[in-house]
Amino acid sequence: MQVIRIPEAQWGIMWRALVASGPIFRINQEPIYLVSDRQVRLLRRKKLPIELDPRPDSREPSRNYAQIRAPV
């Protein structure tokens, strides 16, 4: 799965292409969506402008998380 940002100017065209090709999930109030790798390839084939965002789970843990972990 990939996290993408849909530019406002292309939102309608991209939305129709994504919905027709499979499930799409909005992950916050901004136009940021979770889509499949296949959907990303489809958008690239159609030469639609997408912005890949880093996945939320790939970010480094917060300081609080690091402090809560048990020592190894």
Per-residue tens of pLDDT for the chain, all 72 residues: 889 998 888 889 988 999 999 999 998 888 889 999 999 999 999 998 888 887 655 444 444 444 444 444
Q: Give the pLDDT of residue 27.
A: 86
- Under 8 Å CB-to-CB from 3, ≥6 apart: which residues? 27, 32, 33, 34, 52, 53, 54, 55, 56
Q: Give the pLDDT of residue 57.
A: 54
pTM flag (> 0.85): no
